[in-house]
Homo-oligomer: A and B are copies of this chain.
Amino acid sequence: MKEYYLKKAEENLPKINITKICPDLDPVILNSGDTFVIDLGTHYVGYFSFKMWYAERYIDAPGRMVVRFCEVKEEIDDDYSDYKGFLSPSWLQEEIINIDFPGEYKMPRRYAARYIKISVINATKALSLSNFAFEAVSSADMNTLKPAEIIDPEFAKIDKVAVNTLKNCMQRVFEDGPKRDRRLWIGDLRLEALANYYTFNNSDIVKRCLYLFAASDRNEKGMIVSHLYEKPIFVSGDWYLSDYSLLYACSLCDYYNHTGDEETFRDLYSVAKSAIDSAENNKDKNGLVDGDAFIDWCPDLRKRTAYEGVYLYTLDLWCETLEKLGYEEVSAYRNILSNDRKNAVNLLFDKEKNAFINDIDDRQYSVHSAVWMVLGGVVTDEKAKEILLSALNSEDSVKPKTPYMHHYTVDALIKLGLIDEAEQYIRNIWGGMVDIGADTFFEIYVPGVPDFSPYGDRKINSMCHAWSCTPAYFIRKYGLGK
């Protein structure tokens, strides 16, 4: 089957569109020690080239320069030598290049950048740099972008930045971040696919990603691997996250619900079923699903309640889709869903606090638990509103850190009809990024804590990150900002 799945994935490899960005600049004359910054106008992903020539006298030694690609302005003056993060510094987008002869120079690697900083380290004679060009690449075609009527100017801006984020992450697959971590992750795939249906609506790339995960290795429990690599060869990842495994099933349901492509759903049904059944088969003694879930970059957060919510949310979407397609298995899943919702409220709702706690023996309290209990249908209506708003407004509750978790928070607000609150939440998070000049939405954004990083150093953060692109989905699907 693996070969069949990979063949289907290859058949759906999207076309890469190339747009050449040529900043309108006169040639710059640089000597040793001089620095020059090119501003592409917004964030792009692609390949940089320029011409190095001699200014007056022919250069009699190679020109050595440092070329740094910056997603945001702050990176221009960062000192990379004091990098303290625990991810590999090889993700920092900087090269030392030596050019032997005057001429056109095309840098071979792909970068994610708005700003390009060139620092001449060694030049025996003045260099003349010109013909700066950036070949931006994306499988998103701006000509196919669906028009959207967004009256509120802030939301129009947010939508634009969200679309740019999605575009720059759409390459051969839905990348996680085009600067760092170019893997395909299920959690990001799902959010990008949702935004994609309402913007570029390129269903090939979604199909390709679904088939790639079908080709990946299930673990001994039947879980779907949380990430994979597809270049230069297909390699299954080696990390299993229990919520991501389930979100594969959600992604497949979303795909069918948006495309009506029944053939693909039936083709991949057994893969999604494996994810759901593996959660079902790995419950603890209390009947709650048990596994290592991602949920959010929130090191102190206990995640049992949130994961239970992901499971119930998935089961709900799964049943709805199976029903549409007439699968007999639906009634068995419906029973489980109904029982498990009751079990969850019994075990995880703390009446005294009037809140969902993070685990059965935990006093911790978080937006995450509230959001996922709402999305999982464990609470509904006024009760749900009260719980969710109280978690959001409480000073004691653990709050979402990543735009990934912010997405599901907005989703829960909208599900409950709290449109004003959802809009305000989007303004606060994504509008906050726009206010500080974002051309694309960041991997991490904690209002008021600009240097927050889950990796020990802001410099390694990805400033164009797939999971942050969903305001375009909310704004366009629900007509926000109208």
Does A100 reach chain B (CB closer than 8 Å)?
yes
Does A219 reach chain B (CB closer than 8 Å)?
no
Does A297 reach chain B (CB closer than 8 Å)?
no
Instruction: Check if A98 sits within 8 Å of B90, measured CB to CB.
Output: yes
CA distance A237 to B58 in the complex (A): 8
Partner pick for A122 among B64, B90, B95, B121, CB 8 A cutoff: B90
Does A10 reach chain B (CB closer than 8 Å)?
no
A47-106, CB < 8 A from B: 57-58, 60-64, 87-91, 95-96, 98, 100-103
Residues of A participating in the B interface, judged by any CB pair closer than 8 Å = 57-58, 60-64, 87-91, 95-96, 98, 100-103, 108-110, 121-124, 180-183, 229, 231-233, 235, 237-238
Give the secondary structure class of A's interface.
loop
Partner pick for A183 among B57, B60, B98, CB 8 A cutoff: B60
Instruction: Check if A238 sits within 8 Å of B57, measured CB to CB.
Output: yes
CA distance A77 to B63 in the complex (A): 24
Contacts A/B (CB < 8 Å), 7 sampled: A60-B183, A61-B90, A64-B89, A100-B110, A101-B232, A102-B232, A108-B108
In whole Å, how far is A239's beta carbon from the nearest beta carbon of chain B? Answer: 10
Instruction: Check if B231 sits within 8 Å of A88, measured CB to CB.
Output: no
Q: Which residues of B contact A96 (CB under 8 A)?
A: 95-96
Q: Other CB < 8 Å A-B pairs besides A58-B235, A62-B91, 20 of them?
A: A57-B238, A60-B181, A60-B183, A60-B229, A61-B88, A61-B91, A62-B88, A62-B90, A63-B90, A64-B89, A88-B123, A89-B122, A90-B121, A90-B122, A95-B96, A96-B96, A101-B232, A102-B233, A103-B232, A108-B108
In whole Å, how far is A311's beta carbon from the nearest beta carbon of chain B? Answer: 27
Which residue of the partner chain B has the closest CB to A93?
B98
CA distance A66 to B238 in the complex (A): 29
Q: Which residues of B contact A57 (CB under 8 A)?
A: 238
CA distance A397 to B181 in the complex (A): 67
Q: Which residues of B contact A110 (CB under 8 A)?
A: 100
Q: Which residues of B contact A121 (CB under 8 A)?
A: 90
Instruction: Check if B229 sits within 8 Å of A58, measured CB to CB.
Output: yes
Which residue of the partner chain B has the closest CB to A229?
B58
Of listed A88, A95, A181, residue having the most chain B CB within 10 A: A88
Which residue of the partner chain B has the closest CB to A32?
B88
CA distance A301 to B237 in the complex (A): 69
Q: Which residues of B contact A102 (CB under 8 A)?
A: 232-233
Q: If the complex has contacts A61-B88, A90-B62, A122-B90, are A98 and B95 also in contact, measured as CB distance less than 8 A?
A: yes
Of listed A61, A110, A231, residue having the most chain B CB within 10 A: A61
Which residue of the partner chain B has the closest CB to A231?
B101
CA distance A5 to B377 in the complex (A): 86
In whole Å, how far is A178's beta carbon from the nearest beta carbon of chain B? Answer: 11
Q: Which residues of B contact A100 (CB under 8 A)?
A: 109-110, 182
Which residue of the partner chain B has the closest CB to A97?
B95
Which residue of the partner chain B has the closest CB to A236?
B58
In whole Å, how far is A407's beta carbon from the nearest beta carbon of chain B? Answer: 24
Which 7 pairs between the two chains have the least Cβ-Cβ distance? A61-B88, A64-B90, A90-B122, A62-B90, A58-B235, A88-B122, A103-B232
CA distance A63 to B90 in the complex (A): 7
Q: Which residues of B contact A91 (CB under 8 A)?
A: 61-62
Q: Which residues of B contact A180 (CB under 8 A)?
A: 61
CA distance A452 to B110 in the complex (A): 43
Of listed A58, A123, A237, residue having the most chain B CB within 10 A: A58
